[in-house]
Amino acid sequence: MSFENIILEIDNNIATIFFNRPKALNALNNALFDELDAALDQIMANSDVRVLILTGSGDKAFVAGADISELVKMNPLQAKYFSRKGQKVFSKIEDLPIPAIAAVNGFALGGGSEAALACDFIYASEKAVFGLPEINLGLIPGFGGTQRLARLVGNNRAKELVFTGKNIKADKALEYGMINKICSPDTLMEEVLKTANLIASKGKVALRAAKEVIQNGTATDLETGCRIENDAFGLTMSSEDAKEGTSAFLEKRKPEFKGELK
Ligand code: CO8
């Protein structure tokens, strides 16, 4: 599938997807979701890819939300299915077997914040603006934002953002624990790549297990979460990466993880 609304680049074990509708501030339309879905399939089929980065083309926006010009033409049933489609694609990002980092380079509003929240963590430029302004359109977030934001920053802060429709700048998002780091616009991609490369140098089996355990474990009670961790720990112990990592430590050398699922 060729892409018109996104760009997929794969370089040195890192895949980068650029939301690429700069004239509409990278707003999310149906075609973009189809392409994003296909790009995620390509990434999953490529065993060389160890980390995914999501970012926006141009210097103004990550994603300014769902495409409002497309949204207004939808009847209630079409809106319901569009909302479900977006949720499914964002859940696919969340469930990827590799880590996903959002590099938020500008406006991340509505569906834009929701896309970033589906990633494992977010680095943002000083110019980034986050928010769920759907209430200003007489709507509510529909791509998982009410759920992921509330789980991340707490119900009270999520409700204030959703009820007021007010945007917040990167420093407030950092204070809320919504993002991990603020960078200057010029160094954002450099910083994200530095972290992505560090993660890519680790064992693939352990990375996948760590992501699954944190996600599945925190969706349940502590005791069940710890048991999920036990099982995953046992499984990672049997991997080639674990043999390499522990041997390298004892032999006082750097480990060389092969990135294979065995
Ligand atoms: N949809 C469509 N086009 C957009 C969008 C958008 N979300 N955002 C910006 N654009 C377009 C503008 O219409 C404009 O196009 P044109 O040049 O042809 O007039 C171009 O991008 C540039 O935008 P502005 O001129 O407005 O740029 P400003 O710098 O003045 O303002 C803002 C930037 C503040 C980001 C402003 O564009 C804005 O407020 N955008 C809308 C933000 C918003 O409300 N986002 C939420 C959308 S709703 C949503 O995300 C719901 C998700 C769940 C859906 C569930 C499915 C049913």
- 196 and 208 belong to one structural domain: no
Q: What average pLDDT does range 92-112 have in this prediction?
A: 98
Which residue stretches of the chain are H helix? Answer: 30-45, 68-71, 76-94, 111-117, 145-153, 155-164, 170-175, 188-200, 204-218, 222-237, 240-250
Say if residue 64 is in the same domain as residue 83: yes
Identify the bridge partners of residue 55 per DSSP, sorted by sequence position. 18, 103
Q: Is the CB of 134 under 6 A from ligand 1?
A: yes
**Measured distance CA(251)–CA(249) in Å, rounded:** 5
Residue 255 lies in a domain: no
Evaluate if residue 44 carries a pLDDT over 80.
yes
For 203, phi then psi, to 5°, come to -70, 135
Q: Is residue 151 part of a domain?
A: yes
Q: Is the CB of 32 under 6 A from ligand 1?
A: no
Domain boundary among 179, 200, 221: 200
Residues 195 and 209 in one domain: no
191 contacts: CB under 8 Å, gap ≥ 6: 123, 181, 183
What is the model's pLDDT at position 135? 98
Residue 261: the pLDDT is: 73
Mean per-residue pLDDT, 126-155: 98
Bridge pairing between strands 129-131 and 168-169: antiparallel
| Pair (157, 241) in one structural domain | no
User: If you take atom 12 of ligand 1, which residue's CA is the nearest one?
Assistant: 24
Cα(64) to centroid(ligand 1), Å: 5
Rounded (10°) angle between helices 30-45 and 76-94: 20
- Confidence check: pLDDT of 53 > 80: yes
* Cβ 56 under 6 angstroms from ligand 1: no
| pLDDT surpassing 90 at residue 46 | yes
**Residues 185, 235 share a domain:** no
CA distances to 49, 75, 100, 224 from 199, rounded to whole Å, are 11, 44, 10, 27
- 183 and 97 share a domain? yes
The protein residue with its alpha carbon nearest to ligand 1, atom 10, reads 24
| Together in a domain, 194 and 229 | no
Q: How far is the CA of 221 from the centre of ligand 1 (A)?
A: 40
Once rounded to an integer, what is the mean pLDDT over residues 23-31? 98
CA 137 to ligand 1 center in whole angstroms:
11
Same domain, 50 and 174: yes
Q: In total, how many domains does the chain have? A: 2
Answer yes or no: is 260 within a domain: no
Residue 212 has pLDDT above 80, yes or no: yes
**Structure tokens of 224?**
């069940």
Is residue 117 in some structural domain?
Answer: yes
> What pLDDT was estimated at residue 74?
98
pLDDT tops 80 at residue 259: no
Q: Could you tell me the residue range of the domain that residue 126 belongs to?
A: 6-200
Catalytic residues: 114, 134
Q: What is the residue-averaged pLDDT of the chain? A: 97
> Which ligand 1 atom lies nearest to the CA of residue 68?
1
Q: How far is the CA of 205 from the centre of ligand 1 (A)?
A: 40
Contact 118, 140 (CB under 8 A): no
CA of 32 from ligand 1 middle (Å) equals 15
Q: Is 81's pLDDT higher than 90?
A: yes
107 lines ligand 1 (CB under 6 A): yes
Q: Report the separation in Å between the CA atom of 19 and the middle of ligand 1, taken as the mean of its atom positions.
A: 14
Dihedral angle, C-alpha 188, 189, 191, 195, nearest 10 °: 140
Q: Which of 68, 87, 135, 139 to mutate to test the pocket of ligand 1 (most atoms within 8 A of CB)?
A: 68
Q: Kindly state the average pLDDT of the residues 197-212.
A: 96
Q: Are residues 36 and 102 in the same domain?
A: yes
Our answer on whether the CB atom of 24 is closer than 6 Å to any ligand 1 atom is yes
Helix, strand or coil, per DSSP, at residue 60: coil
- Residue 213 shares a structural domain with residue 120: no
Please name every residue paired with 14 in a beta bridge, in sequence order, or none if there are none: 11, 51
CATH number at residue 237: 1.10.12.10
CB 57, CB 85: distance < 8 Å: no
Q: At 126, which CATH number?
A: 3.90.226.10
Q: With contact defined as beta carbons under 8 Å apart, do 118 and 144 qualify?
A: yes
In a domain, 1, yes or no: no
CB 42 within 8 A of CB 3: no
Q: How far apart are CA 147 and CA 118, in angstroms?
A: 11
Over residues 138-152, the pLDDT tens digits come to 999 999 999 999 999
Using most ligand atoms within 8 A of CB, pick from 19, 25, 26, 127 the residue to mutate for ligand 1: 25
Residues 218 and 152 in one domain: no
Average pLDDT over residues 40-63: 97
In the predicted model, is pLDDT for residue 260 greater than 80?
no
Instruction: Kindly report the pTM of this predicted structure.
Output: 0.97
Q: Do 234 and 196 reside in the same domain of the chain? A: no
Q: Reduced to 3 states, what is the DSSP secondary structure of residue 13?
A: coil
